[in-house]
Each structure stands twice: as structure tokens, then as C-alpha cells.
Amino acid sequence: MSIVSTSGKTRLRAALERAAAGGRPCIGQWMEFPGFSLSRTIAALGEDWVLIDCEHGNIADADMYLAVAAIASAGASPIVRVPASEPWLFKRALDCGAHGLLIPMCETREQAEMIANACRYPNAQNGGEGFRGAGAMFAPAYFQQDGRAYIQHANENITVIVQIETKKAVENVEEIAAVEGIDGLFVGPNDLAASMGFFPLDHGKHDEVQEATARVLAVGKKAGKFVGHFAESAAFRINQGFDFVNCGADIVAITSWMSSEMGKLAKLVKDKEHN
């Protein structure tokens, strides 16, 4: 599958629009480890996108460049979660060819406006108040465009998603969702639970956290935004109405499978000891 349509629309954006219209959900994978071969292997599984986690993952700047190239070459859209809400980090991720950005800890309308503008070019054709620097030498290749076409259409082709992951962000979610240039909202359940006074990994056990999550979903949908969730249960979140979720993460898959195999071997060894 091509990662960019003849109209210039990325696979990520096409999948999000399909999901928002009631079609098949937009499904991705989460990547915490660096490596070209690993990135390409994950991206070849058939998902719409692979997220390169530069916030919590072991992925440095040079590794991000390699991962974007590998994921795009395998037919999935690369998304980068940047380490922090800093314009220079957005620029690095976009300039290496990311189709989308996931930006953590957005709590106010002012922060959302800064994010939207930092991810857009200030050219007259697209308007707006963008201030992204026009120096992307690598990105056009991953949009199957030349440099001129990339700059002309980047503002509409790039998908900018902010994370709603604190109590303050939920309180301000209507204002955040109203910002032009913010394409999606993404619930970060662990940090949201922590900000509400609960143990992060117990977010699914507390009605207050689930009510806040439902509020983000409802507000985002009303505002015409794509809404996503880090999926501890992808099917549940899809049935709840979320447009996009991840159905796996490399570190979870590795530890889960290896732990299972270790358990089988331990049982075999124990059985042999008793024989």
C-alpha cells in the first residue's frame, strides 16, 4: 500500500478520516526501541501507522531519522512522539519526514495555539500564523513529493495531535479542541490518573478517570477532531468510539512473549526434576 495518495494525503490522514466517518478504525503500533530493521519489521505488519516514541522510548534523534525512513519504506505512516512541547523538537521530527506528531502535556488553549503554529509554514498559500522554518531536506521523499510541493502542501498533509493527560487539560479541553491546526486529541491514561490522585497504572479502576476520558472523546468528536487512546484494550476503546488506537508495543510484545516462554520452560524443568 502506498503511504501517500495521488492527492498527497498520507495513509495516516486517510485512515483517520475513514475512521471518523464510521469506517474501519485507524490502527497503529508503538515503538520504544531503536533500529532500522525493527522499525521496518513492525511497519510491515499491515497497520496504518507506527509511533516512534522519543518521549519515553530509547530513541535518540539519529534513531528517529532511521525509524521514519524504515517505517515509510514499509508502507505505514510514521508518527513521532516528541520528548516535550518545544518548537525545535517539532521541527526536527517534521523535517525528518514524520507524517504526524504526538505532542505530550498540552493543557491550555495558548499551548495548543503555539503547537499548531510551530508545525505550520507561514506561506501565503496556506495562511495562518505558522512559524516553522522552511528547511526540510529529507521530508519530501516520505511524502513522495519534491521540495516545492512539500512546502506548498505540508500544512494540510501533516497531522498534529496533542495529548490530553492531566486534570487541567481535561478542564480546558473545549478550548484546546477549538484551536485550528490541532487535528487530534489523544488521551494519556497513566498521567491523567496520576494528576487526579490515583496510581497511574490503575486508571481503568477509577470512574473519575473513565469519566474524564469520555469527556475528552465527546468534546473532540463535537469539535470535529480525531480522538485516540493508548490502548490497554484496543477493541474496548474502538467500541467506545475512539478513532485511533495502538494494538501493541514492541517492549510489551517482547516481554510478554519471552515471559510466557520462560514460564513454559520453567514448568518443563520442574516436571523433569520430579521424574
Domain ranges within the chain, ordered by starting residue: 11-273
125 in Cβ contact with 105 (< 8 Å): no
Report the length, in residues, of the chain. Answer: 275
pLDDT at 74 over 90: yes
Task: Spell out where 110-263 has E strands.
Answer: 159-164, 184-187, 226-229, 244-249
Please calculate the CA angle 60-63-64 and round it to the nearest 5 degrees.
85
Q: What distance in Å separates the CA atoms of residue 112 and residue 133, rounded to the nearest whole number? A: 19
Q: What distance in Å separates the CA atoms of residue 69 and residue 77, rounded to the nearest whole number? A: 10
**Which percentage of the chain shows pLDDT scores above 90?**
85
pTM for this predicted structure? 0.93
Q: What is the pLDDT of residues 101-141, one digit of tens each?
A: 999 999 999 999 999 999 999 974 545 689 999 988 999 99
Mean pLDDT computed over every residue of the chain: 94
Q: What distance in Å separates the CA atoms of residue 130 and residue 120, rounded to the nearest whole number? A: 5
Using pLDDT thresholds of 50, 70 and 90, give the confidence band for residue 275.
low
Q: What is the pLDDT of residues 207-217, one digit of tens each?
A: 999 999 999 99
Between residues 270 and 228, the one the model is more confident about:
228
For the domain made up of 11-273, give the CATH fold. Answer: TIM Barrel (3.20.20)
Mean pLDDT, residues 212-227 taken together: 98
Q: What is the pLDDT of residues 175-204, one digit of tens each?
A: 999 999 999 999 999 999 999 999 999 898
Residues annotated catalytic, as ranges: 56
185 in Cβ contact with 164 (< 8 Å): yes
In this prediction, residue 173 carries a pLDDT of: 99
Between residues 7 and 183, the one the model is more confident about:
183
Mean pLDDT, residues 61-73 taken together: 98
Q: What distance in Å separates the CA atoms of residue 121 and residue 4, rounded to the nearest whole number? A: 20
